[in-house]
Amino acid sequence: MLKRSLYVRIVGTFITVVVLSVLISYFTMSFFFHNEVIFDEEVKNVTSGVAEIIELTELEDVPALVETFQTYYFNIMIFHESGEPLLDQYPSIPLSDSSIIDVFYSAEEDPVILPHGKREASRVAGIPIEIEQEPYALFLHLDYEEEMLSIKKLVVSSLLFVLLIGSLLILLASRRLVTPIKKLTNAAKEMAKGNFSVRLKSKDKDEVGELITSFNHMASEVEKIDKMREDFVSSVSHEIQSPLTSIRGFTKAIQDEVVPKQNEKEYLDIIYQETERLSRLSENLLRLASLDSEHHPYHPEVYKLDEQIRRTVLATEPQWKSKNLQILLELDTVEIYADQDLLEQVWLNLFINAIKYSPPEGEIHIHIQEDTSGVKVSIKDYGKGIPEEAIPYLFDRFFKVDKARTNSIAGNGLGLSIVKKIVMIHHFSIEVSSKEGEGSVFTVLIPKQQNDTGQTS
Ligand SMILES: Nc1ncnc2c1ncn2[C@@H]1O[C@H](COP(=O)(O)OP(=O)(O)O)[C@@H](O)[C@H]1O
Ligand SMILES: [Mg+2]
């Protein structure tokens, strides 16, 4: 369908252009020849020349001379002023009744061109002459109508020839144009069916080549997204499956009374933690989905960052107290322009990670520093650290350094991806520096902003 209509359009356009040019050239040719001044001049010159020769001739020799001229296709008629023809027989020259009078009364010495009507390449010129002191009118007829017609035929037939050859060539050329488009259509159909591995080859640098390059780029992006979606589904299923498995195992054990009474509490604790983990998972998934959507809530305002950090530390007191951690705060008083609720999530996730991965009795340092470039918030722990090769993936969804860990501190690997997402929404940035066995520092950089309220922070 596509192929046919594009062909039709290209070939149709070509044919229309050629047919129009044929018509236009045919008519303009006729028009210009009709009004041809050079042709008129030529006829006048020839007429004057012929008139001079005849004037020099004796009256009795004129008929013979006229005959001679006739053999060279100069048709000549000569009339006496009275209207009497000089010769008995004349070739037919289209003359009107007033032609003779017109010639004598034209004030000029020059020949006059008689009106030639529709005939484009035929002219009659008239001039008054004197033969042996007697006034005569001489008419000369030059007729190129036939030649004109054959030229027209030649032009039209060569244009028709161009039309024919051109149509054939255009047909071949448009195949070159249409084939890649057809391939693209098929590839797009393939993609619609779910085959995202289709790629097209193109050597051309033209628009179609560019289209193919863009298509390939789009296909690879879609393939990536599809892969991400698959990974995501399998990660989610896995994250749901493992707590469910342990919940089912432990409840079954308690039901079947395989568990000694004094251990029941411990098992119930595990069940409780696993349900907590499941609910954290769904909470985080919902949060991510909301952040991913175009309409996630985002209500930035100016507020005191140091107070927010202090609140976060207070809110998590049970966690860090139970590990006997020491929290050291060094907070400059700063105001920033950001969404408070979203940023609270950032500090909470980073701080809880620091608590989780710190050894008991450890230390956590939180700094807020403001300088000319902006505000830096760093959260530093002295815990197990992160292996260098894991750092590039740290902010990926479901990424966990230690995948096998199933104890209570196991998260679901979504915390840092939420952090990253919120940081991106604000156009802030985040950096990690970590050494295995020595600890990690997460630093959020808040660039100097020109905010809506007109304040810089
Ligand atoms: N402060 C830290 N110290 C050591 N490892 C960390 C720290 N923060 C994050 N990680 C590593 O990065 C992984 C991803 O973190 P996160 O997205 O918060 O998921 P989780 O739910 O596992 O905490 C964690 O599983 C952990 O391996
Ligand atoms: Mg976490």
Cα of 355 vs centre of ligand 2, distance in Å, is 10
168 domain residue, yes or no: yes
- The answer to whether residues 106 and 167 belong to one domain is no
Cα of 408 vs centre of ligand 1, distance in Å, is 14
74: domain CATH number is 3.30.450.160
Q: Are 345 and 422 in contact (CB under 8 A)?
A: yes
Q: Which amino acid is at 78?
A: I
Last residue of a domain, one of 286, 309, 326: 286
196 domain residue, yes or no: no
Angle subtended at Cα 98 by Cα 95 and Cα 104, rounded to the nearest 5 degrees = 105
Whose CA is closest to atom 4 on ligand 1? 385
155 domain residue, yes or no: yes
Which residues lie at CB < 5 A from ion ligand 2?
353, 411, 415
Return the pLDDT at 450.
57
186 domain residue, yes or no: yes
- The answer to whether residues 321 and 441 belong to one domain is yes
- The answer to whether residues 310 and 234 belong to one domain is no
Whose CA is closest to atom 1 on ligand 1? 354
Question: What atom of ligand 1 comes closest to residue 357's alpha carbon?
Answer: 3
The DSSP string of 237-271 is HHHHHHHHHHHHHHHHHHHTT-S-GGGHHHHHHHH
Encoding tokens for residue 383?
Answer: 């815990």
Residue to mutate (ligand 1; options 280, 353, 364, 399; most atoms within 8 A of CB): 353
Gap between the Cα atoms of 59 and 80, Å rounded: 12
- The answer to whether residues 218 and 91 belong to one domain is no
| Residues whose beta carbon lies within 6 Å of some atom of ligand 1 | 349, 353-354, 357, 381, 383-386, 394, 399-402, 411-416, 440
- The answer to whether residues 307 and 397 belong to one domain is yes
Whose CA is closest to atom 21 on ligand 1? 411
250: domain CATH number is 1.10.287.130
- The answer to whether residues 416 and 342 belong to one domain is yes
Question: What atom of ligand 1 comes closest to residue 418's alpha carbon?
Answer: 17
Ligand nearest to the CA of 420: 1
303 domain residue, yes or no: yes
Residue to mutate (ligand 1; options 400, 420, 433, 436; most atoms within 8 A of CB): 400
Ligand nearest to the CA of 416: 1
- The answer to whether residues 354 and 418 belong to one domain is yes
Q: Which amino acid is at 327?
A: I
Say how many domains are in the chain.
4
- The answer to whether residues 221 and 321 belong to one domain is no
Ligand nearest to the CA of 381: 1
Cα of 89 vs centre of ligand 2, distance in Å, is 122
- The answer to whether residues 436 and 313 belong to one domain is yes
Ligand nearest to the CA of 280: 1
383: domain CATH number is 3.30.565.10
181 domain residue, yes or no: yes
Cα of 123 vs centre of ligand 1, distance in Å, is 103
Please report, in tens digits, the pLDDT of each residue of the chain (457 residues total): 455 677 788 888 888 888 888 788 778 877 776 666 667 888 888 889 988 998 888 888 888 888 888 887 788 888 888 888 887 776 677 777 777 777 777 766 778 888 777 777 788 888 888 888 888 888 888 887 788 788 878 888 888 888 889 888 888 888 887 888 889 999 999 999 999 999 998 877 888 888 899 999 999 999 999 998 998 899 899 889 989 999 999 999 999 988 888 888 999 999 999 999 999 999 999 999 999 888 888 999 999 999 999 999 999 999 999 999 999 999 999 999 999 999 999 999 999 999 999 999 999 999 999 999 999 999 999 999 999 999 999 999 989 887 765 555 567 899 999 999 999 999 999 999 999 999 999 999 999 875 444 444 4
Domain that holds residue 158: 2-32+149-190
Encoding tokens for residue 400?
Answer: 């966990």
195 domain residue, yes or no: no
The DSSP string of 116-143 is -TT-SSEEEEEEEEEETTEEEEEEEEEE
- The answer to whether residues 332 and 363 belong to one domain is yes
Last residue of a domain, one of 237, 252, 286: 286
- The answer to whether residues 432 and 308 belong to one domain is yes
121 domain residue, yes or no: yes
- The answer to whether residues 66 and 158 belong to one domain is no
Cα of 352 vs centre of ligand 2, distance in Å, is 7
pTM of the predicted structure, to 2 decimals = 0.64
